[in-house]
Structure 1
């Protein structure tokens, strides 16, 4: 009778404790999964990257018809950042006429691409002229040679100052930012690893 009483009284509470512990554990795992999916830094960073991608896309579309530029001149050195023809360009020049100035400009793109191609062709011709001038140095006087050389080099510097120092296409910014924002906002986190707690039942 003592053994039967022990089984009837002790085992049911132990089984109830196991079920309660498993229920609490499952609830904790579910809450942890929801919290990890809506992790604050991940969601906020995904929204920021998505907004940046939208901003660069808007600039990309606008640059196909309009040139937006920011210029800064300091002590004769000119710096110009332009959004034009599907890319962002940086132009550097040491031929600025004014001492110090800065500002923002917007103008229609017009025939900008044809102009850049024409300038690049003229630069090649001037470089060829300088090479020919070096070979013809013996048939010229020193003053004539220096005058022709200085004129060609000055024209070359002026033309090179109108071409971009570097250019970054908009697509190289929009595509990675879009992919990153999609991954941050839509991807599911890895499932949390849990260890099952064991309940010892005394016999």
Structure 2
């Protein structure tokens, strides 16, 4: 069993499979939960939002985003903060059918903040395919080097 993981392709394949599993777990969690992660800096703030089968990033100065709990994102001190919220079952079902996460979007909002929205499937499926290739492909056989080579 040890010789199966001797090459770099197999080790990288296991790593990409673990990453695909982590993103798949986050994708499943996003069906019923909304997670907000704030990274407050001195000049720029970064917000990562996971919910409704999407991963959204927003970077800029000030944010006035309102989410299902109707609470505005608070202004906090420097640091990292995590705020989980439960989505109502009816809301997550409505979002699943009415607003499918089918495309990658990048845009600038009215305040000049840069935003990007990435559906989870566009992360999980390529990582899974890459890990399958790396794990299942046959390793290359080394050709012996002739000794009397100048």
Q: Shared topology, TM-score over 0.5?
A: yes
Cα distance change, pair 193–73 in 1 and its aligned pair in 2 (3 A): closer
Q: Which stretches in structure 1 are left out of the alignment for 5+ residues?
A: 1-34, 118-155, 197-203
Whichever structure has more helix as a proportion of its residues is 1
Q: Which residue number in structure 2 is paired with residue 63 of structure 1?
A: 30
Return the index of the structure with the highest Cα Rg: 1
1:167 match: secondary structure: strand
Q: State the match for 1:100 in structure 2.
A: 77
Contact between 2:20 and 2:127, CA under 8 Å: does it hold in 1?
A: yes
Q: Secondary structure at the match of 1:82?
A: strand
Give the root-mean-square deviation of aligned CA atoms. Answer: 3.7
Q: Distance in 2 between matches of 1:77 and 1:184?
A: 38
1:174 to 2:124 alignment: yes
Q: Give the conservation status (yes or no) of the 8 Å contact 2:5–2:11.
A: no
Match of 2:87 in 1: 109
- What secondary structure is seen at the aligned counterpart in 1 of 2:25? helix
CA distance in 1 between counterparts of 2:26 and 2:13 reads: 20
Instruction: Provide the rounded CA distance (Å) in 1 between the counterparts of 2:125 and 2:58.
Output: 25
Gaps of 5+ in 2: 65-73, 100-108
Which residue does the alignment assign to 1:5?
Answer: none
Q: Please give the residue correspondences for 1:17-166 in structure 2 after superposition, counting only pairs within 5 Å.
A: 38-74=5-41, 78-92=45-59, 94-95=62-63, 98=75, 100-101=77-78, 102-110=80-88, 111=91, 113=95, 157=110, 165-166=115-116
Cα distance change, pair 82–39 in 1 and its aligned pair in 2 (3 A)? same
Q: TM-score, normalised by structure 1?
A: 0.47
CA displacement at 1:66 relative to structure 2? 0.4
Would the aligned equivalents of 2:33 and 2:84 in 1 still touch at CA under 8 Å?
yes
- 2-structure distance, mates of 1:94, 1:50: 37
Q: 1:189 aligned to 2:130?
A: no
